Amino acid sequence: MQTLTIIRPDDMHLHLRDGDALKAVAPYTARQMGRAVIMPNLKPPVVSVADALAYQQRILAALPEGSTFEPLMTLYLTDKTTPELVREAKAAGIVAFKLYPAGATTNSDSGVTDLFKLLPVLQEMAKQGVLLLVHGEVTDSDIDIFDREAVFIERIMKPVLAQVPDLKVVFEHITTAEAARLVSEAGDNVAASVTPQHLLLNRNDLLVGGVRPHHFCLPVLKRETHRQALVAAVTGDQANKFFLGTDSAPHAQSAKENACGCAGMFSALTAIELYAEVFEQAGALDKLEAFASKNGARFYGLPENTDTITLEKQSQTVPESIPYGNETLVPMRAGGEVAWRVRY
């Protein structure tokens, strides 16, 4: 049997929700990943250091006994964020602030309306070494949803990087060739996280044969040419600038399968196995460890995990659904096969 042993990976972009939902999904990530960067878009959002530290304790309480998983906490950037809060966050061990343009995605109503008004905050983040995590889409109604990332790059990302050149930025869950090119050509202060769905799926998987609500995520799946560009980026000459970030986002089946289905895909159940498929198909399994276990840690200034996991080339069937509080949750590739499995 073919096996692959790698340093335990980290998930640099994860949604865990709260309450019963948190208790339902956190163990899936904890059994694969050493650490995860936790997104702050709860209701209400995580906007203060006290909020983040309290949420961190709830996450730790939801983990299986003996788990060594470490949640890395972030704060939600708002129009009211101050340089003083940045300094307080740094002192408390908060690793980043997350930019959600207002209205861009799930629970983003409190997001930033004009990032350029927060330049003093971004300058303080650069000074303190606190990262900016960017949901890179504009939300203007006249911009096609498939073009929102590319427009964001020109209108916001490039001007901000020019005005705050030392700011460490993670372009989150990139979906386009334009984003991959920007990150590859930018300085060492710019990197990107990439999800399994944007490496494995294109917009045909969302729309052909009927709308598939469990393939609806934001940023939305793009053309096949963009998917290919992302695979080339994570396996190419500048691959050290890209790292694993699932954007695994649990939603109850009833919330996905209705007249206004919400955005998000839950991949934490078989996350590293899905990435292994991508790298195997690209003939680049030897580069999976760097993408999953090294690049993100280095960019965040963290040591690599000291233990390992072993993947086996053995097919597994993904459950049609899993328990999610009083409801059910449909995971990515539900009912289908994944070519790899982790040896637990």
Known catalytic residues? 247
Q: CA-CA distances (angstroms) from residue 311 to 87, 158, 277, 288, 294?
A: 41, 39, 11, 11, 17
198 known member of a binding site: no
16 known member of a binding site: yes
Please state, in angstroms and rounded to a whole number, the distance separating the CA atoms of residues 117 and 114: 6
13 known member of a binding site: yes
> With contact defined as beta carbons under 8 Å apart, do 28 and 344 qualify?
no
Neighbours of 23 (CB within 10 A): 18
Please state, in angstroms and rounded to a whole number, the distance separating the CA atoms of residues 24 and 17: 10
Angle (CA) 33-110-47 rounded to 5° is 55
Please state, in angstroms and rounded to a whole number, the distance separating the CA atoms of residues 269 and 26: 10
Supply the DSSP symbol for 218.
S
Where would I find the beta strands (DSSP E) of 87-127?
Answer: 96-99
259 known member of a binding site: no
On the 0-12 / 13-18 / 19+ scale of CB atoms within 10 A, 238 is middle
313 known member of a binding site: no
Find where tokens 């919400």 sit.
262
218 known member of a binding site: yes
> With contact defined as beta carbons under 8 Å apart, do 279 and 339 qualify?
no
98 known member of a binding site: yes
214 known member of a binding site: no
User: Which tokens belong to 272?
Assistant: 């590293």
> With contact defined as beta carbons under 8 Å apart, do 313 and 288 qualify?
no
251 known member of a binding site: yes
Give 228's contacts (C-beta < 8 A, 6+ positions apart).
Answer: none
Please state, in angstroms and rounded to a whole number, the distance separating the CA atoms of residues 176 and 198: 9
Binding site per annotation, positions for Zn(2+):
13, 15, 98, 135, 173, 247
Binding site per annotation, positions:
13, 15-17, 41, 98, 135, 173, 218, 247, 251, 263
Binding site per annotation, positions for substrate:
15-17, 41, 135, 218, 251, 263
